Chains A and B, each alone.
Chain A
């Protein structure tokens, strides 16, 4: 039944399907399940099977988003959240590159630094919030710092293990050419640890999104996370769902950007994805 409705609702994609092989297009295959679920949800709401004050129909959520966008208030929230994520991401990645490279290359730094960082990693993200607010105030600094903490650990861990996992056999090739330490790093260790580093960036980014929600839920007057709290307090589930949706969309977009960079820079890798 659901698939019948789908065919009726989306005649245009149906046409596309015939021109580009539908089973090979990831977009089409990937959207099948969510689209079906949304249609079921919409029908359930219209039919009165779910309470609208708990779960409003997708169209209601969409209307809410469009109204907010037209009134202009939405952009400010999106902008500030994006700003926090990116600033935190850059800060966290920068710190992770410095410390991760140092622990990866230099044995003594690893022995001094790594145990402490591993211990800090065990602290749940939300536990930082009160401390950061106390230290840095409730302004942007504390939120960006929290995001940076979230981004830091995955990037740091992946970079360190990437560097330590570089094939000794390749390093020996460099030694045969009497490379200096700097040349070894630049020409062998860095490119060889790039795959692991990029994996770290992607999981760092997703943690960054998670931490920005935490930061905004707990003390913000702007941002998508604040919008969720506001929706909760004013009993407006469409606002909460709309925020979740926007988080999903921006999270997906930013991850897709990193993923494209990853595939492009790692096309030399001999793995399943590059198999032709």
Chain B
């Protein structure tokens, strides 16, 4: 689905960005990228999404229409403040025939009845739901999520993680999730990639064997978390 070969993007004189990243995603796979801040994981998403074009290496996708290859959801909702929820969700499609689909999506993310609200009247969680719906409406081949829930409170975060699980189930969206929340990565992803260093490199990979939906307090996930922490050098002997 997605093949990233020897991609590097370095700035600030080699002190930031990432170097020599190889990565491949199967169709329908959910892959998490974990790393401490400054390891270039957000930059990786910006490069993949086409927002940052100054990179070296090769990015291949199987998408027929390159315009629809990537959908991106940011850390902040980034809704247009002058459009109401409905207009924000259909923002960027331009086509009228998506109406039914947009309506379905709005139901999925639980925003039914809020069509006419402006972003200023939404809570952080609701705004992020609208952003999820917006990024899914164009039916991207690969959904890129850049720390999508890091600004939300713990409970809203869990709700939206479950919403994402529903969406993965329903749409089989290939997803690359950048996060610094280990629990989130282990709860959602098939595979977790760990990045370290400045500039960042892929340090290791952990496959999460458990089937979704998983239990949040699962002892298997707790063990994996220990492994991840070790990889990231956070465990004390």
On A, residues with C-beta under 8 Å from B are 169-170, 172-179, 187-188, 191-192, 194, 267-270, 274
Contact = CB atoms under 8 A, between A and B. Distances in A.
A178 B81 contact: no
* Closest CB pairs A-B (n = 5): A270-B120, A177-B92, A268-B118, A191-B82, A268-B82
Question: Is the contact region of chain A dominated by helix, strand, or loop, or is it mixed?
Answer: helix
A176 B51 contact: yes
Given A175-B50, A176-B49, A170 B70 contact: no
Contacts of B82: 191-192, 194, 268
Size band of the interface chain B makes with A: 20 to 34
A133 to B, nearest CB: 44
Nearest to A265: B82
B76 interface: yes
A175 B51 contact: yes
A173 B120 CA distance: 18
Nearest to B74: A169
B92 A173 contact: yes
Contacts of A270: 81, 119-120
Contacts of A177: 91-92, 138
Interface in B56-80: 67, 70-72, 74, 76, 78, 80
11 contacts: A169-B74, A172-B74, A173-B80, A176-B51, A177-B91, A177-B92, A268-B118, A268-B119, A268-B120, A270-B119, A270-B120
B102 to A, nearest CB: 14
Contacts of B67: 178
B32 to A, nearest CB: 21
Contacts of A175: 50-51
Given A191-B80, A268-B82, 12 more contacts: A169-B74, A169-B76, A172-B74, A173-B74, A176-B49, A176-B50, A177-B138, A179-B92, A187-B91, A268-B84, A270-B81, A270-B120
Nearest to A271: B120
Nearest to A267: B118
B135 to A, nearest CB: 8
B1 to A, nearest CB: 19
Contacts of A194: 82
Interface string B163-187: 0000000000000000000000000
A192 to B, nearest CB: 7
A176 B71 contact: yes
A170 B78 contact: yes
Interface in B118-175: 118-120, 138
Nearest to A179: B92
A51 to B, nearest CB: 56
Contacts of B74: 169, 172-173
A179 B138 CA distance: 13
A192 B119 CA distance: 14
B51 A269 contact: no
Contact of B81 (A172, A174, A269): A269
Contacts of A191: 80, 82
Nearest to A191: B82
Nearest to B68: A178
A191 B91 CA distance: 13
Nearest to A194: B82
Contacts of B138: 177
Nearest to B50: A175
B140 to A, nearest CB: 9
Nearest to B120: A270
Contacts of A169: 74, 76, 78
B205 to A, nearest CB: 27
Contacts of B83: 268
Most buried by B among A176, A188, A192, A194: A176
B81 A173 contact: no
Contacts of B78: 169-170, 172-173
B76 to A, nearest CB: 7
B51 A172 contact: yes
Nearest to A275: B120
Nearest to A167: B78
